[in-house]
Structure 1
Amino acid sequence: MTRETILIVDDEKEIRDLIGIYLENEGYKVLKCMNGLEALDYLQKEEVDLIVLDIMMPRMDGMEACMKIREEKSMPIIMLSAKTEDMDKILGLTSGADDYVTKPFNPLELIARIKSQLRRYKKFTNKLVVQDENIIEIDELLINTSTHEVKVGDREVKLTPIEFSILELLARNKGIVFSIEKIYERVWKEEFFKSDNTVMVHIRKLREKIEEDSRKPKYIKTVWGVGYKVESL
């Protein structure tokens, strides 16, 4: 069985080594580097399944690195930061991250989040023979749940695993309104906390990618005071 490869990007050697020890004990292959430029270089040479990416780093910080990675790659990215403000979390998720963990963190919690992201990613990148039930079409929006491909007309749209999971959930249940709480629990498989605005950030990014005008969404509709839905067009 091929070991999954995790890239740890952090300018603090102690953090890299700590996370690396826990990951290696779980059987993962670990790569380490200390800034965003080194991470981009690694990704040109190595197949990486998930990235643990610190925000505050010299030369190229995690935000910029994440945005550059997302231009070509869709593997899960978990942000690390000593900042705890909601706006910092929103910026991290907006730049393309799938999850956000604040320092100091419990290494066991981080490992659990890594495993969760990898399970989700493997589910949607499993290359199967495409059957009819793997294709969801809504007007010009086409979702292939087998190959994790999304197109709007002739334009291919690159989504993160979380964005894809949200879109698939809503598209498979056209006309049904999902609350923020239900979306979080169905996609993240975790208990929802009222102060968490993670879902709204991902919905906004998803709209920016698939909607012609994200301010007047065609596919993902807001039902004020209730939640979100995808309508049949």
Structure 2
Amino acid sequence: MNNKTVLIVEDEEKINKMVCDYFKFNKFEVISATDGMEAVEKFNENVDLVILDIMLPKLDGFTVLSRIRKKSDVPVIMLTARGEDEDILMGYELKVDDYMIKPFNLDILIAKAKVLLYRIDSMVKGADKGTEDILKYNGVKLDKLKMQVYIEEEEIELEPKQFEILKYLMENKNIVISREKLLEEKWGYDYYGNTRVVDAQIKKLRKNLKDKSYCIKTVFGTGYKFDVE
């Protein structure tokens, strides 16, 4: 996990410094605020985690959280000295992620912070991986895992070889792929046919792509490319 930035919002100077120092010791970048207004002003898109006290001058923690939630789903751990059910329920209604009741153990606070950030990172990586399995350009969407192709969200049927050709062209969008390269990649080194088989499959593929057939451009004397503007 790369260095993360934490915004620590606590009006008690001693607790603020103690928490800030402990997060710094654990390789976090730290931003400190001692009242609710300062917290709102210092919060920005680079903040990865917020440690937020409920009882604050100027704006209370619930108001700060409400304002943060209008622009971000950043994980938030709230600190409370009271531990009252009403406070905890209010926080969860405002989508707080976790609570620490004062006095608290700093090691547990750090552990909670790391678990939250690990989960966020895992979800982001999972989302990124999912997007790698989906190719979508010019209204043509190809799902590698499901081996499905859609035109403007309407599924179309392709033969396996046409699917593989389209996938290869979309993976290499705007790059001219020679007929020989397509033959090698999609029919294999041991295939002794000529490049006419490529042209025949491209013709069928274009027909199946209907009004999106223009996406596959012929580059005279060379081959084909999936053209993305």
TM bucket by the smaller chain? 0.5 to 0.7
Matching residue of 1:189? none
Question: Secondary structure of the residue that 1:7 maps to in structure 2?
Answer: strand
1-structure distance, mates of 2:131, 2:94: 33
1-structure distance, mates of 2:9, 2:92: 17
Matches within 5 A, 1:130-145: 130-131=130-131
Structure 1 residues without counterparts, runs of 5 or longer: 135-233
Matches within 5 A, 1:161-176: none
How much has 1:124 moved relative to structure 2?
1.8
2-structure distance, mates of 1:100, 1:93: 9
Matching residue of 1:210? none
1-structure distance, mates of 2:85, 2:2: 37
1-structure distance, mates of 2:129, 2:122: 14
CA distance change for structure 1 residues 125 and 132 in 2, over 3 Å: closer, same or farther? Answer: closer
- Would you say 1:83 and 2:82 are equivalent positions? yes
Matching residue of 2:56? 57
2-structure distance, mates of 1:112, 1:129: 27
> Which digits, 9 at most, give the CA deviation of each residue in 1:212-231, with x for residues without a partner?
xxxxxxxxxxxxxxxxxxxx
Task: Supply the RMSD in Å over aligned alpha carbons.
Answer: 2.0
TM-score (norm 1): 0.53
1-structure distance, mates of 2:128, 2:121: 12
> Which digits, 9 at most, give the CA deviation of each residue in 1:53-97, with x for residues without a partner?
000001001001101100110110000010122222111221221
Question: Secondary structure of the residue that 2:128 maps to in structure 1?
Answer: coil
Which AA in structure 2 matches 1:12?
Answer: E
Matching residue of 1:98? 97
Matches within 5 A, 1:204-219: none
2-structure distance, mates of 1:8, 1:97: 15
Matching residue of 1:10? 10
TM-score (norm 2): 0.54
Structure 2 residues without counterparts, runs of 5 or longer: 135-229
Question: Secondary structure of the residue that 2:52 maps to in structure 1?
Answer: strand
Which AA in structure 2 matches 1:81?
Answer: T
Is the Cα contact below 8 Å between 1:6 and 1:51 reproduced in 2?
yes
Is the Cα contact below 8 Å between 2:7 and 2:43 reproduced in 1?
no
Indicate the percent of aligned positions where both proteins have the same amino acid: 36
Larger radius of gyration: 2
How much has 1:125 moved relative to structure 2?
2.6
Matches within 5 A, 1:6-45: 6-44=6-44
Aligned residues: 133
How much has 1:35 moved relative to structure 2?
1.7
Structure 1 stretches of 4+ with a deviation exceeding 4 A read 131-134
- Would you say 1:128 and 2:128 are equivalent positions? yes
2-structure distance, mates of 1:124, 1:37: 31
